[in-house]
Amino acid sequence: AQSVSQHNHHVILSEAASLELGCNYSYGGTVNLFWYVQYPGQHLQLLLKYFSGDPLVKGIKGFEAEFIKSKFSFNLRKPSVQWSDTAEYFCAVMGSSASKIIFGSGTRLSIRP
Amino acid sequence: DAGITQSPRHKVTETGTPVTLRCHQTENHRYMYWYRQDPGHGLRLIHYSYGVKDTDKGEVSDGYSVSRSKTEDFLLTLESATSSQTSVYFCATGTSENTGELFFGEGSRLTVL
């Protein structure tokens, strides 16, 4: 069965600081990987996705993520955060042999102005 | 965003009563999902559907049932609501390509007293 771990539950940063949120997954085969963002009071929106090819993927709003197969990781990064990045971030995985999309427990990001 | 509407958006009910949440989509997406979101747990998959009358269990399916009699509607039923089912419920859809990219509804907040 597939699973996702996000070890950072709450991250607090100042504006312009760099961000890295960890995501590790467990699955024995090929995976599709995702980061979703949920702004306060809103539903989830896709931030970026990895299906295959270049392991470094770029998403919206300056976010990027790197798939490291050997580490079963898909960490989210942003070089310089803004106050508007305050949100909850979810990593998700879909194994190639299933339709299930499993989410991690989420990381709440708070940005100090 | 895909046209996904959830109803009701807010509901307060008492323990032991049946509750049905409806998800309606206008995008002709093949896949539909029900998740619940709880603090510290992120999103957990309840049930999903990969076509009309085709459904399967997710991570936390006990106490829930689903039905999909037509492409556009996916119903989630709590036969006898319990306080542990107090949560925010999100419906999501995925296209026939089954890439795992999801489009979310606005959520339904259910409180079981």
User: Which of the four pLDDT bands, split at 50, 70 and 90, describes residue B96?
Assistant: confident
What residues in chain B have their Cβ under 8 A from chain A's Cβ atoms? 1, 31, 33, 35, 40-45, 48, 50, 56, 58-59, 90, 92, 94, 98-102, 104-107
User: Which of the four pLDDT bands, split at 50, 70 and 90, describes residue A30?
Assistant: confident
For residue B101, the chain A residues in CB contact (below 8 A) are: 34, 46, 49
Interface contact A32-B31, CB threshold 8 A? no
Is B40's pLDDT higher than 90?
Answer: no
Give residue for tokens 């990027």: A64
pLDDT at B64 (0 to 100): 98
Is A75's pLDDT higher than 80?
Answer: yes
Residues 6+ apart with CB under 8 A from B74: B22, B23, B25, B32, B34, B49, B66, B67, B68, B91
Q: For residue B104, give the nearest of A43, A94, A105 by CB distance.
A: A43
Is B2's pLDDT higher than 70?
Answer: no
Q: What are the CA-CA distances from residue B95 to residues A39, A49, B51 (Å)?
A: 24, 15, 11
Q: What are the pLDDT digits (tens) for B49-68?
A: 999 999 999 999 999 999 99
Q: Average of pLDDT values for A10-19?
A: 96
Q: Average of pLDDT values for A13-39?
A: 94
Interface contact B48-A45, CB threshold 8 A? no
Return the residue in A2, A44, A46 with the most chain B beta carbons within 10 A, the one to mutate for interface testing: A44
User: Which of the four pLDDT bands, split at 50, 70 and 90, describes residue A113?
Assistant: confident
Q: How far is B77 from chain A (nearest CA, A)?
A: 20
pLDDT at A97 (0 to 100): 65
By CB atoms closer than 10 A (0-12, 13-18, 19+), residue B47 is buried
pLDDT at A64 (0 to 100): 97
pLDDT at A98 (0 to 100): 67
Q: Average of pLDDT values for B14-24?
A: 97
pLDDT at A14 (0 to 100): 96
User: Which of the four pLDDT bands, split at 50, 70 and 90, describes residue B97?
Assistant: confident
What is the spatial distance between Cα B104 and Cα A37, in angstroms, rounded to a whole number? 11
Q: Is A101 on the interface with B (CB under 8 A)?
A: yes
User: Which of the four pLDDT bands, split at 50, 70 and 90, describes residue A1?
Assistant: confident
Provide the sign of the torsion angle of the four alpha carbons A104, B8, B94, A97, taken in this order. Answer: positive
Provide the sign of the torsion angle of the four alpha carbons A96, A98, A100, A103, taken in this order. Answer: negative
Asked if residue B93 lies in contact with residue B29, where contact means CB atoms within 8 angstroms, the answer is yes
For residue A106, the chain B residues in CB contact (below 8 A) are: 42-43
Interface contact A103-B44, CB threshold 8 A? yes
Residues in chain B: 113
Q: How far is B45 from chain A (nearest CA, A)?
A: 7
Q: What are the pLDDT digits (tens) for A33-70?
A: 999 999 998 889 999 999 989 999 999 999 999 999 99
Is B36's pLDDT higher than 60?
Answer: yes
For residue A43, the chain B residues in CB contact (below 8 A) are: 90, 104-107
